[in-house]
Amino acid sequence: MKTIIYNIGTLAGILPEGVLKLEGAEMNHVECIENAYLVIEDGIITEFGSEDESIIKTQDSVKTGTEYIDAKGGFVLPCFCDSHTHIVYAGCRDGEFRDKIAGLSYEEIAARGGGILNSADLLHETSEDELYRQAMVRVNEIMAMGTGAVEIKSGYGLTVEDELKMLRVIRRIKETCPITVKANFLGAHAVGRAYKGRQGEYVDLICDEMLPKVAEEGLADYVDVFCDKGFFTVEETAKILKKAAEYGIRPKIHANELEVSGGVQVGVEYDALSVDHLEKTTEAEIEALRGSNTMPTMLPGCSFFLGIPYGNAKGYIEAGLPVALASDYNPGSSPSGNMRFVMALGCIRMRLTPEQSFNACTINSAYAMGVSDILGSITVGKKANVIITKPVPSLAFIPYSHQTPIIERVLIP
Ligand code: NIG
Ligand code: FE
């Protein structure tokens, strides 16, 4: 099946083959072609360029079986890649929203036995089919908003059976949706209720029972730990990552959301693909990341919702590092998977340029979930997951006018 998108006002986000991430000043630029066309064959980008008369003419030749899409002068962009989400969950936590408004912090809600444990209770009572149904509503929602790849974590199970249940739901999403999905095992999201006061034993349960089963069923692409104050320590994180490494499962870590936790350093030590959150960081984290393969990933939707500081994305980029942005879509700290809003927060609250924020939400977030060889840019050979916008004046307009409904169509072949 061949598709030609023509009459593209601006084709944006072009990268040469082989570029897997952008760092430092490389993030300042987005390569574009004005008045362009894009050819897709069997879901793969095979050609693009400045609009050529011959391409326009062939649109009359219906006999060829080629599908023609008129972009009507809009932008064509690579889809967003959302490298950090928790979109498989049951119900919601709108009650805690009231507590939050009344002044309770994320940690205070968690310490009262709410937060993640509330979601775990609800998930326990929810069947696998119902969980899939609820998650699919969110998957369809984010696809319509331009997300073409998503990483999904477990971590609301917190028992062997319920963690496996979550991961099977993620596998089913992978198998039934056109969107590219990566599964992340986050048994160490909080200590399960049955293990209250016995955190060490819960960590042993993760290492000795959960991880072997997860690995045996091939349910996880990555492993995660919430390495932060009040959750899991650096030592516990190292223990889990060491065990995961035996199964060849690479980490992506929750680090430095609530405190400077040492999570970045332990992540880098175990060659984490990404370290995420980073609302609280110092020079030491920047130094630890320098020269590593680990993508610092920031989650401005979480800062926005919890009213906590934003990560110092600008400082990281000025230090020559790459930065990715993701939504953290979850019921407790970021109940939104709108990557365009994430891109806007990158500009408005983190003071990234539209180009830096765009690169952070596309090629770098693709890297942070291990898919930048197949997604995250307009490149021959990559999957043609693209957004077609209404005609807009510039790339900057996309985050600037962030509530204007500019998405005309999302192609996820
Ligand atoms: O990334 N910080 C830890 N985990 C999630 C929140 C999960 C929840 O509150 O349900 C996060 O913010
Ligand atoms: Fe998270």
Q: What tens digit of pLDDT does each residue of 7-16 get?
A: 999 999 999 9
- CB of 302 closer than 6 A to ligand 1? yes
Q: Across the strands, what pairs with 47?
A: 39
pLDDT digits (tens, 9 = 90+) for 351-410: 999 999 999 999 999 999 999 999 999 999 999 999 999 999 999 999 999 999 999 999
Do 54 and 140 sit in the same domain of this protein?
no
* CATH code of the domain covering residue 335: 3.20.20.140
Residue 271's closest CA among 247, 299, 297, 242? 242
Do 148 and 92 sit in the same domain of this protein?
yes
In this predicted structure, what is the pLDDT of residue 52?
Answer: 73
Q: How many domains does the chain have?
A: 2
Do 341 and 387 sit in the same domain of this protein?
no
Ligand 1 center–CA 330 separation, angstroms: 7
Do 235 and 320 sit in the same domain of this protein?
yes
Residue with tokens 């084709």: 11
Which residue's alpha carbon is at the smallest distance from atom 5 of ligand 1? 333
Q: What burial letters (b/e) apply to 67-79, b meaning 16+ CB within 10 Å? A: ebbebeebbbbbb
Do 287 and 241 sit in the same domain of this protein?
yes
Do 237 and 339 sit in the same domain of this protein?
yes
Provide the sign of the torsion angle of the four alpha carbons 99, 102, 105, 108, taken in this order.
Answer: negative
Q: What burial letters (b/e) apply to 245-263, b meaning 16+ CB within 10 Å? A: eeeebbbbbbbbbbebbbb
Q: Which structure tokens are listed for 411?
A: 């192609």
Q: Is the pLDDT of residue 54 over 90?
A: no
pTM of the model: 0.97
Q: Atom of ligand 1 at shortest distance to CA of 258?
A: 2
Average pLDDT of 215-244? 97
277 in Cβ contact with 259 (< 8 Å): no
Do 263 and 135 sit in the same domain of this protein?
yes
Do 97 and 74 sit in the same domain of this protein?
no
Task: Give me the half-sphere count of Cα atoms (radius 13 Å) on the Cβ side of residue 220.
Answer: 30
Do 333 and 184 sit in the same domain of this protein?
yes
Residue among 105, 107, 226 to mutate when testing ligand 1 (max atoms within 8 A of CB): 226
Average pLDDT of 45-68? 77
Which residue's alpha carbon is at the smallest distance from atom 10 of ligand 1? 332
Confidence bin at 265 (pLDDT 50/70/90):
very high
Residue 250's domain spans which residues?
80-368
* CATH code of the domain covering residue 407: 2.30.40.10
Q: Atom of ligand 1 at shortest distance to CA of 328?
A: 1
Do 97 and 54 sit in the same domain of this protein?
no
pLDDT digits (tens, 9 = 90+) for 106-164: 889 988 878 999 999 999 999 999 999 999 999 999 999 999 999 999 999 999 999 99
Do 407 and 297 sit in the same domain of this protein?
no
Do 132 and 31 sit in the same domain of this protein?
no
